Structures are given as structure tokens and as C-alpha cells.
Structure 1
């Protein structure tokens, strides 16, 4: 996301924080191993540089992991899709390499726990590509709003569409010259990202909160701060 003229860099999560948050919020991923692709519907938990996930007991991936004594070399693919309907909904693609191990049978008797020791990961967005190591992931923490982002964005889009007309007062008027459709694209503790959609393209603009949000309740206060700044002409960081 490029900066409007005269603006300073708006705070945003690091690549490692984005990856940690994306992994913790996803419910599906693809595992590539031994020349095959395995689609899994599974939550992912991050513990340092180790991921924990589930697979069906009778899945080919489970059998392959059981046969790999030293761990199975795998590549994980995770796609980050905006929960709000906009053009070009893919916000990021994560590619992660590591070794997968069979942990133990789950309590339901139908699935198994797997873990992946991360070697490195690459996060590609429409604006940049960032790479991290296992040590980077181990030091990172997830954004406190990550697991609630989809519900919060959907709520904003469905129930508070009028707020975006107010928030556009914080933007460089040149960005609004062709009256774009304005929708919420993403959010995190540092701010809200708006999608400005024109007939022939789009632009994404970050509005930074005066201070980071600590939780979902605090997010409501930070949104109020942004709306107040827009209504009363106070300055706001844009990126």
C-alpha cells in the first residue's frame, strides 16, 4: 500500500506477526508432500516454531507421516481471503516449509494430531513479499484481533456501512476523485484497511489507530477514535 503525499508510515504488523495471526485464524490449508497435495480442514495452533494440526485417521497424509521415521518434508499453503465481498479477495498467500510428524490419536478416534516443525516461511501480498525463519516465528505473537477479524469486518460492512463515508474524510481527496466504492478489507490491533474500488482497479489505504487495540472491546473504542477524528478534522496516520 503506497502512502498518500505528505503522510508518514502507518504502524502495521511485522511479517512474522502476520504469519502467526494467519495460521492461528485459518481453518483450512493444503499440505504438499511426496509429490501429492492434501487439503485439510483443520484449525492450526502455533507453539514457538511448531504447528499443531489434525488429519483424518485414514487419510493418505497420515499414513505417509507414520512411515516417515525422521519426519516428512512438507510444504504448507494457506490462502488469506477477505471475509468481505470485494474484487480480488485474496489478501495474502503463505508458503511454509518444514517437517511433519505424527503425534498421537485424537480423543474422537477418527483423527490424529500432527505437528510441523517450521524451517522457514514466505508471505506474499499484492504489495510485498516477506520471508521469516523458524526463530522469527517463535519470537512473534498473534494479533489479539486475528481470530475475531472475520466477524468484526463482516459486522462493519453489514451494519455500519455509513461509517465509511465518514472515514473517507481522513483520506487525501485525490483518492476519492472518481467516487470509489469503499469497503473494509482488513483490520488488526494497529488499524483498519479500506479498499477503494474503482471500475478499472482498486487501492488499499490503512487508517492507523491512535494507539493499538488490546482486544475486541478496545477495538470498538479505537474505531470511535477514528470516527471522531474524521468528524472533527483531527489528523490521522494513513498508509
Structure 2
């Protein structure tokens, strides 16, 4: 039996990365590669949205939009909310067929997006910006817990972590205003890591992740909660338990 602490499944990790990470449209590969030919650059969309079915809506400047369908990859990056030497926590690759969306349909999609996530850049649609849609063929998530394929139905069935959009502010506050708490968490680290610089790395419903920056390299440690949690009150109890607050045991009686 594994003694590793529980972690979110690949589908949940993929959904969480998709919900908050910046995206890049990777250039299609040249087969075979031609050394003399300059490969196309990555394209950063004006905005993007990963839908529950794994499809991706992208808004690109007209000069960067593709006129014909093509198979390509959208890469979504999960970045640590505090400045680290190695800030990338995870990657989500969505491979699929990318095609432009007719303007009338694109405007309807833009209205749907405004209701879900208002963004003034949608006003550029048809005025220097083109909407494209990537229909997923395959999805892969890669992070400290491994590299895993995520079939689109698994992605659609998974939920975003309940702390997805609050995690960044909480971890920055922990780093800047509660260095005493970070110091207390040292007691959970293996002896060989206790001399390193401990930084808050991540938070999800299963636990708190720390990054230990040492001279010989970086190490990630997960501190598991006693059970999966969903609310801020439950999070407060679990964090106090990790720092050894004596009143937590009394509350549980």
C-alpha cells in the first residue's frame, strides 16, 4: 500500500490548470524538420477559454489567425503565485483541430463568454481580432504528480478545485504576512530538507504544498489534510492543525 499523501486526480488537476493558467498556441510541427526554415513562433492569444468539454475558444489578432483548419496544441501553464526559481507547477496540453469561427457564430459565443467571464478584449472581435475554436483530440496533464492522459470525457466529469481562484491571494498573504506559520511548518519536513528556504507552493482540497529551495536543488513536499475539504472554514481548521494549534483537538470533541 502506498504511503504517499492523497492528491487530486488527473481530471481535477487538468480542470484546475485550465481554469486559471495562461495559454499559448504552439506552432504545428514541421515533418520532416527543415534546418534552414525558421519555425513559426508560439502565439499568445488575446484571450482564451477552456470549456468543460475540453474545447478551447481563442481570440487572436487578425494577422495571427489561421485561415484554414489545422491540428495544433494549446498549452496551458500553471504558475506558482509567489516568485520562485522554478515557477511552473504544471502543464496542460490540449491537442486538437483548430479552425476559425464564422463571425456571426463568434459573436454569439462572445456573448456567452461575457456572461461567464466578462473581458473587454471581446469587444475587439471583428475589429482586428478573430475567434478560433480548438476541438480536442487528446489532453495530457503534467506536474509533480506525474504525466497523465486525460480523456475529454474524464475532463468534463471532473470538478475544478474549490480553492482554485482564491489560492493565489492566500498563498501570497501567507508568504508576506505569516512567516511564523511557514517557520512552524518546518517540523513536517524530512530532516534533510530543514535547512532549505521553505516557500508556499500550492493549495488544494487535499493539502498544502511547499517548495524547499536548497543549494543542491528544489524539492516539493505535500502536507496532507486529515480529509478532503471544500470550505474556507474547513481550510482554517486544517491549517491550524498543521501548525499544531492546541485548540483544534478541543474543537473536534
For this structure pair, what is the TM-score category when the shorter chain's length is used for normalisation? 0.7 to 0.9
CA distance in 1, matches of 2:215, 2:171: 23
Q: Deviations over 1:131-187 (max 9, x none)?
A: 2222221222211112222222111111112101112223333432xx211111111
CA RMSD of aligned residues (A): 2.7
CA distance in 2, matches of 1:153, 1:216: 14
Unmatched 5+ stretches in structure 1: 1-6, 235-239
- Residue correspondence of structure 1 range 1-239 to structure 2 within 5 A: 8-33=3-28, 36=40, 37-56=42-61, 58-61=62-65, 64=66, 67-68=67-68, 71-103=69-101, 104-105=106-107, 106=110, 108=123, 109=125, 110=127, 111-126=129-144, 128-176=146-194, 179-227=195-243, 230-231=244-245
Is the 8 Å Cα contact of residues 23 and 74 (structure 2) preserved in structure 1?
Answer: no
CA distance in 2, matches of 1:54, 1:214: 33
CA distance in 2, matches of 1:221, 1:136: 31
CA distance in 2, matches of 1:34, 1:170: 45
CA distance in 2, matches of 1:152, 1:41: 27
CA distance in 2, matches of 1:218, 1:51: 33
Q: TM-score, normalised by structure 1?
A: 0.78
CA distance in 2, matches of 1:53, 1:217: 37
Q: Deviations over 1:50-77 (max 9, x none)?
A: 2333333x2422xx2xx43xx4322112
CA distance in 2, matches of 1:86, 1:76: 24
How many corresponding residue pairs?
218
The Cα shift of 1:205 comes to 0.7
| Structure 1 range deviating more: 27-36 or 189-198 | 27-36
SS at match of 1:83: coil
In structure 2, the residue matched to 1:237 is: none
CA distance in 2, matches of 1:225, 1:11: 17
SS at match of 1:142: coil
CA distance in 2, matches of 1:52, 1:152: 29
CA distance in 1, matches of 2:21, 2:154: 20
SS at match of 1:87: coil
The Cα shift of 1:43 comes to 4.2
SS at match of 1:38: coil
Is the 8 Å Cα contact of residues 195 and 202 (structure 1) preserved in structure 2?
Answer: yes
Runs of 4+ in 1 over 6 A off after TM superposition: none
CA distance in 2, matches of 1:202, 1:12: 20
Is the 8 Å Cα contact of residues 190 and 208 (structure 1) preserved in structure 2?
Answer: yes
Larger radius of gyration: 2
Is the 8 Å Cα contact of residues 15 and 155 (structure 2) preserved in structure 1?
Answer: yes
Q: TM-score, normalised by structure 2?
A: 0.74
